Amino acid sequence: MESHSRAHQAVAALRHVLGPQWEFSLPDPANRTFEIRHRNRGTLYIPPRSTPSWTELLTTLTTAFAARDVIRDECLPLRWGRETELTISAVQALDPLLKGGRALTYRKGFLPQPVVRFTGDRDERGDLLDGFLTAFVNVSRVQPITSIGEYAEALDDWLFVLSRLGFHARHIEIHGRVEVWHRRQVAGVTLMFNHLDLAIGDLVLLWNTENPESMGLDLGTGLERLAWARTRRDWNGLVFGSFAEAAPACVLDAVRTATLLLGSGITPSARGAGGVARRVIATIPPSLVKLGVSAIVRSFHQHWAVSTNLPVPWPAICSAMEEEVASRSVRKSPRRHVGGELVTPDGACPPDDGLVRSVAQPDTSH
């Protein structure tokens, strides 16, 4: 069963489920890569004239998944505190199944999961590239499965959901490798999917290496990236709205991330999840906070509230952000070199290059 047999089984199941309207090819047999493209590919894509609100977009996703018997579940808490300080992927809901081989999951079904990651692609100046954010809504389907056929059917379900969002199958390209990867207790096979030239997510078949019958699937994309692929609008205007020109994108990204962290009840501290919040807020210029952040925080709070319940209201977030910035000036003292690195009095390496660095380790389940 091991080696690459499951990868071959997955490709065979995909052929069966997708049918003759999809063409399979092996552009690089030496690297075991394959592509799946619609036979009517190549037609012009014309973005829809209307741009749905975040609420409308999420409602469409919820309804479309439900039509395929995939029911929306509650989000995971943002403070994770297990292998990572924060929730960085909805697939962490499958940890008991995939890492422990137990018939148990924390969540299953459709999860529009807010996450915080520090792994987005950046340019030579350290700024995030278009399509990447430190915090975003991880549109996911995570669930245990009993056969590889269910994994293939999940791709068919996803194509149905995309069609309800205004995408057409002829503009979708799927690619992967006939190869099984291994990371600690978990093995898997990954499919990537693009809308035209834009990568929009993946679908992963996963199983526990000690108990291969403990299988699950993880469909992952981003709500913001889906909206971008659909509309092809300016990225900053799409995610930051009317505030896109108010400050540099890196600052807006930090305020947006801090709003999620503080709104989830994570208070700035010296370490742990609170340490992440402190370091994010440290990249927000004091001058911006002095002018007031209520309007922008309220806007970002509304965005996050579409997918999850934030226990902390936006006025309290503004106060916490202002207090942290004010207390930072009190804590600040001349920097000194320790072991060749600049450090602050609390021993943390300051974000002197303008980047936010995570204290959390990246998820290694896939």
pLDDT-wise least confident of 47-56, 314-323, 343-352: 343-352
* Other Cβ atoms within 10 Å of 53 Cβ, number: 12
Residue 44 DSSP class: P
Taking the C-alpha atoms of residue 161 and residue 155, their distance in angstroms, rounded to an integer, is 10
Residue 331's pLDDT band, with cuts at 50, 70 and 90, is low
- For residue 11, which of 202, 189, 172 has the smallest C-alpha distance? 189
Residue 43 DSSP class: P
Tabulate helix, strand, coil % of the chain (nearest 5): 40, 20, 40
CA dihedral of 123, 276, 89, 248, whole degrees rounded to 10: -40
Taking the C-alpha atoms of residue 242 and residue 262, their distance in angstroms, rounded to an integer, is 22
Tens of pLDDT, residue by residue over 39-90, are: 999 889 999 888 899 999 999 999 999 999 999 999 999 999 999 999 999 9
Task: Return the amino acid letter for 350.
Answer: P
In a 10 Å sphere around its CB, with 0-12 CB exposed, 13-18 middle and 19+ buried, how is residue 21 labelled?
A: exposed
Based on its alpha-carbon atoms, the radius of gyration of the chain, rounded to whole angstroms, reads: 22
pTM of the model: 0.88
Whether residue 106 has pLDDT greater than 60: yes
Residues in the chain: 366
Alpha carbon separation from 7 to 190, 221, 229, 338 (Å, rounded): 9, 22, 29, 48
Residue 330's pLDDT band, with cuts at 50, 70 and 90, is low
Q: 3-class SS at 120?
A: coil
Tens of pLDDT, residue by residue over 248-267, are: 999 999 999 999 999 999 99
